[in-house]
Amino acid sequence: MVAKTLYDKLFEAHVVTQRDDGSALIYIDRHIIHEVTSPQAFEGLRLAGRQPWRVGANFATLDHNVPTTPFKSAADIEDDTSRIQVQTLEENTRAFGIREFGIGDVRQGIVHVMAPEQGAVLPGMTVVCGDSHTSTNGALACLAHGIGTSEVEHVLATQCLVAKKMKNMQIRVDGDLGPGVTAKDVVLHIIGVIGTAGGTGYALEFAGSAIRSLSMEGRMTVCNMAIEAGARAGMVAVDDKTIDYCQGRPFSPTGEQWDAAVEYWRTLVSDEGAQFDAVVEINAADIKPQVSWGTSPEMVLPVDATLPDPTQESDAVKRAGMERAYEYMGLTPGMKISDIKVDRVFIGSCTNSRIEDLRAAAEVAKGKKKAASVKQVLVVPGSGLVKKQAEEEGLDKVFVEAGFEWREPGCSMCLAMNPDRLQPGEHCASTSNRNFEGRQGNGGRTHLVSPAMAAAAAVAGHFVDIRDC
Amino acid sequence: MDKFITHTGLVAPLDRANVDTDQIIPKQFLKSIKRTGFGPNLFDEWRYLDEGQPGQDNSKRPLNKDFVLNQPRYLGASVLLARRNFGCGSSREHAPWALQDFGFRAVLAPSFADIFFNNCFKNGMLPIVLPEDDIETLFQQVFAQEGYQLTVDLAEQVVVRPDGVKIPFEVDAFRKHCLLNGLDDIGLTLQESDAIRAYEASRQQREPWVFVQ
Ligand code: SF4
């Protein structure tokens, strides 16, 4: 028998028909829907007089546009265009009979937080969503990736996609992670090593003892940012943690089906001797807490570093990118990361808004106060259920006492489609995934960090090494 | 879907690497529930000096004269020349919609982000990967010669320079077929409905838990 990678197995298990040109029709088990990338797809269905192929495969929720201050219904959303988009999803899900975790439902939240939490995605599945961070779900050993709106319509209408098999890349992180080094630091470090296009054309499998040592939440953080490494999909093989995580979730199987599922899921690992097209090996001990300094996630450094000198960069295209990043970020080469002051802090997003992330931030914030120079610290849980659990653990109180704002679930300042945003020129310590120009608000300057590092920056008013706290 | 067979047009050089989808079309414009009308806000943060809002009259906004698409010599460009990793970032199909609505029919770069690349084909727009050296030469030629045009011939799979040099490119056979014929790929997939049902039946046996209602 040929040794196969996890990705090989997942892909092959979903081939409906193989075409001569190497592409295949692959079956999609789960389709997650949000309000931004779906309206045109539903419109397309209507225009063509088509119905969803399998209604039960779809799970919808609202996240990108929702305010994070309390509100009761879509009608309370002030911004006209946001309100219309939210209402359009509500109408579409109603019209087509699609399950939606809407406003006021405790299950509402960021698509990639809601789906695993509900057991809507399970090992061995193909999962798509009109959102690039769908890769998050790969932590459950499923093949999960983002799609555009035309493909949203295609999946709704046919439950399939036309796909070509990607190449296999294994990223092995072996050894023990040092104190204060989290899943976020692992993935930022990986992106720093392979670059934002390093994974283009590949399906990434994260492996090695350091990845195994991460919780499921941590693995989701790592897979979430596979897209920032250029790959549509990232994944982690099944182990006991995967199985434990799935047990008892609302849409997870029970009884005999559970036993059969577990038996199958256990096979979802790369076989001994499986061939990868590329292997990247990283020593966990080399990873320090990370802070991004520029306008691309690959412009990232350990917290104790100084900012790089573009004149030392031999690649002209890269050099030009660095120079533009310096101008945009208002920083100068040679500066210490710890000298960068922060104006706002954002703890949230599909990268870092799960319970473990909030616990890590709360641990740092406990008994401390946000620095007077920091204008705002937003803590935005990933879903209503995360929020509820955090409140049961008293984390909300810790945040409020530290002068942080405890908000309602949603995407919030990760992309600033709702009112949460940076003002031009402001520096933000953010636990999100993208530091592109204008991402968190026109002219805003994003620094990507872990939740603990974000909380520590909120308290100090500038970046600090969490290992010294 | 629009057909794409061959296209000749003015080339605009966007001399930056890692152009992301937030740059191509900033998020405030994603609130539209339509597929069209994104052209005036393509590269909004670079093209205008103020912050754009949906529904604004863009003709009244202050232009950033330095930005390439605002320079008179590139007005009416329909071929975009770009650097590596073009279209990285989100899955928003609004990015190709905006490029297309603006008037672009083809984008040439040394590499593209996967999802953006895929989304282009769904909209009758052709993303073409060329070797870094060829792209560099094209940049130099575009800068040197006003009115520089390229012909993109999908059937022959070549980009033709004004000096007659033909640069071959690769394209996936199925995508080429769909673009040349302007095919609706949902319609094509639905022709395989029986195979999809048969597949579902076998999965239902093996993994019934996938088929929740
Ligand atoms: S939290 Fe940010 S990255 Fe994640 S789905 Fe929302 S907008 Fe996208």
pLDDT tens for each residue of chain A, 469 residues long: 799 999 999 999 999 999 888 899 999 999 999 999 999 999 999 999 999 999 999 999 999 999 999 988 999 998 888 999 999 999 999 999 999 999 999 999 999 999 999 999 999 999 999 999 999 999 999 999 999 999 999 999 999 999 999 999 999 999 999 999 999 999 999 999 999 999 999 999 999 999 999 999 999 999 999 999 999 999 999 999 999 999 999 999 999 999 999 999 999 999 999 999 999 999 999 999 999 999 999 999 999 999 999 999 999 989 999 999 999 999 999 999 999 999 999 999 999 999 999 999 999 999 999 999 999 999 999 999 999 999 999 999 999 999 999 999 999 999 988 889 999 999 999 999 999 999 999 999 999 999 999 999 999 999 999 999 8
A-B CB pairs within 8 A amount to 190
d(CA A402, CA A398): 6
Q: What secondary structure does DSSP assign to A44-81, as a single string?
A: HHHHHT---S-GGGEEEE--SS--SS--SSGGG--SHH
Asked if B17 is an interface residue toward chain A (Cβ–Cβ < 8 A), one would say yes
d(CA A248, CA A251): 8
**DSSP H helical ranges for A225-277:** 240-246, 255-265
Interface probe for B, chosen from A196, A224, A322 (most Cβ of B below 10 Å), is A196
| Ligand 1 atom nearest A414 alpha carbon | 2
pLDDT of residue A59: 98
Please, which residues bridge with residue A100 across strands?
A60
B2 pLDDT higher than 80: no
User: Which structure tokens are listed for A367?
Assistant: 């008994």
- Sheet hosting strand A99-101, strand order edge to edge: A99-101, A58-61, A30-33, A126-129, A143-146
Percent share of chain B, pLDDT over 70: 100
Asked if B136 is an interface residue toward chain A (Cβ–Cβ < 8 A), one would say no
| Contacts B90 to A, Cβ<8 Å | 131-132, 146
Query: Sorting pLDDT into bands at 50, 70 and 90, what band is B3?
Result: confident
With CA atoms as reference, report the closest residue to A443 among A357, A355, A327.
A327
Helix (H, G, I), strand (E, B) or coil at A37: coil
CA A217 vs CA A140, A251, A373: distances in Å: 10, 18, 32
- Residue A149 burial (CB count, 10 A): 27
| Contacts A151 to B, Cβ<8 Å | 118-119, 122
Residue A134 Cα to ligand 1 midpoint, Å, equals 9
Please, which residues bridge with residue B160 across strands?
B151, B166
Residue A72 Cα to ligand 1 midpoint, Å, equals 22
Atom 2 of ligand 1, residue of closest alpha carbon:
A414
Interface probe for B, chosen from A40, A145, A164, A432 (most Cβ of B below 10 Å), is A40
* Half-sphere exposure at residue A431, Cβ-oriented, CA atoms within 13 angstroms: 38
Q: Phi first, then psi: what are they for A18, rounded to 5°?
A: -100, 130
pLDDT of residue B1: 73
- Residue in B93, B115, B212 closest to A232 by CB: B115
Q: What is the DSSP letter of B150?
A: E
Residue A235: which residues within 8 A CB-CB, separation 6 or more?
A: A6, A7, A10, A138, A139, A141, A142, A143, A144, A203, A204, A205, A206, A223
pLDDT in tens, B101-141: 999 999 999 999 999 999 999 988 999 999 999 999 999 99
How remote is the C-alpha of A285 from its chain's centroid?
A: 24
ipTM greater than 0.90: yes
d(CA A138, CA A127): 9
- State the first-to-last Cα distance of chain B, in angstroms, to the nearest integer: 33
- Mark yes or no for CB contact A320/B15 under 8 Å: yes
- Mark yes or no for CB contact A40/B33 under 8 Å: yes
Per DSSP bridges, beta strands A23-27 and A427-430 are unpaired
- Residue in A16, A85, A324 closest to B192 by CB: A16
